[in-house]
Amino acid sequence: MDRIEELLASYREEMMETVQKWVRIPSVKGEPAPGAPFGEEIRRALDTAMEDCAAFGLKTQVFDGYAGHADLGEGDTRDALAILAHLDVVPVGDGWQREPFGAQREDGKIFGRGTGDDKGPAVAALYALRAVKEAGVPLRRKVRLILGCDEECGSSDMAYYKKTGEMPRSGFSPDADYPVINIEKGGCHLKFAGDLSPEGLQVLSMQVGERANVIPGFASALVEGDEDIARKAMEAGEKLGFPVKATLGNGAVIIETVGVTGHAAFPGHGRNAIGQMLLLFRELGVQGVLRDMADAVGMTWRGENLGIDMRDGVSGELTASLDIIRVEGSRMEALMDIRYPVLLNLDAMVSTAKMRLPDVEITVAGSRPPHFVSERTELVQELLEAYHEVTGGEKRTVAIGGGTYAQSLEEGVAFGALFPGEPEMAHQANEYMTEESIFQNARIFARAIVRLAGKKSGEDTKSEEDTDGDR
């Protein structure tokens, strides 16, 4: 490993510049175009990444703009070690103090949307592959870096990749936390809908939230009213303990409230602006479906008012984050992101929610089952050893609420890239990843590749590169 460590140290500055280059491409999902099913910027990010992979001598292939892969070594693809990362990012959102796609380097950090989720880890994996290749490590199996383009919006990219390419059976995704994530909770999106009441406060329009997996940090609504409603809104904000702005205009009032954006898998780390607005509506006398949503959801994030606050000893507690709401005309529709424990029955959970909200239409807009890989597998044990060798950290497995590309593999786990004690910046304003963290990830990934794909002691290590006796 000494030669690999030397090489990674020599790449360090180039590695950071590559992260900056990738982050400066605003790869948010856009309008589809020929060869660019998720928009031209995501296709540009994919092409850039594939060019960098090819420059390091990896064998690349692009799958119609859905995804691409880069191979190191030869062998049966089903038996290859897969490393899956994504190039798409969530929308910028509110609250930034820096240029979201500027990739500024300050105080040992690289700022920008996608630095930690997931471009920094993807670059670290690429440079780990480069180091293993240039160190001449003999491999017993192929290593395949797969870079996808739709992880943030349902992973249709991986479904397409499986249809048109060949997916390895086993591997990891550097898109969560260390040490090893071997359990991912189930996930579903609950859609709430209903007609507005003609009684009480009249909400004329409200369009908040962009993605179901992003906690909205700002909410604005147009309500019927005058100076009295504006004053009451401000007073209600003080009572409830969050900032409210109310502006008059032609028989209506624009109400705004600011929360804290974040990842829907960690709703306790954010402050949901939709929830704040619902509680504000309730203080102002709203009735009907919006009152029901305020009572049943509000600022809760464990589903307690819906009667679905459950946990198990395997994967922890349920989380529920109301991240999109649309009010127009006489109708409300909203979408809630739920991450549920492995042992929870999805149908029973939905039935319970319907009983708590009998006057609200509730449907499942999408779901994915829980994912589990035994900690006894070679994959998990070798990844834990690689992590421990570099950090000295505890060799243990954990469960998370987030869903990663690991679920695209028969035997897949999430491995990194966030170290214990580091702040969770995914989907948040001023997202960053430290340069040291990127570098340490590359070191860990390189060791993982050698452990899981390198030839074992006693195996024939002769390769084409060493037939001339140079090594």
Query: Which residues are designated catalytic?
Result: 88, 151
CA distance 373 to 404: 13
CA end-to-end distance (rounded Å), the chain:
15
Cβ neighbours for 288, distance < 8 A, ≥ 6 positions apart: 194, 195, 196, 197, 199, 200, 359
CB-based contact 192:351 (threshold 8 Å): no
CA distance 162 to 360: 38
CA distance 79 to 82: 9
Cβ neighbours for 195, distance < 8 A, ≥ 6 positions apart: 288, 289, 330, 331, 332
In the block, residue with structure tokens 């993605």:
211
* Peptide bond preceding 118 in cis form (omega within 30 of 0): yes
CA distance 303 to 131: 47
Cα-based distances in Å from 96 to 179, 250, 260, 399, 407: 30, 32, 11, 30, 32
Sign of CA dihedral 270, 103, 71, 135: negative
Cβ neighbours for 413, distance < 8 A, ≥ 6 positions apart: 172, 173, 180, 181, 182, 373, 379, 380, 383, 406
In the block, residue with structure tokens 């990896």:
58
Closest to 137 in 3D by CA, of 468, 470, 466: 466
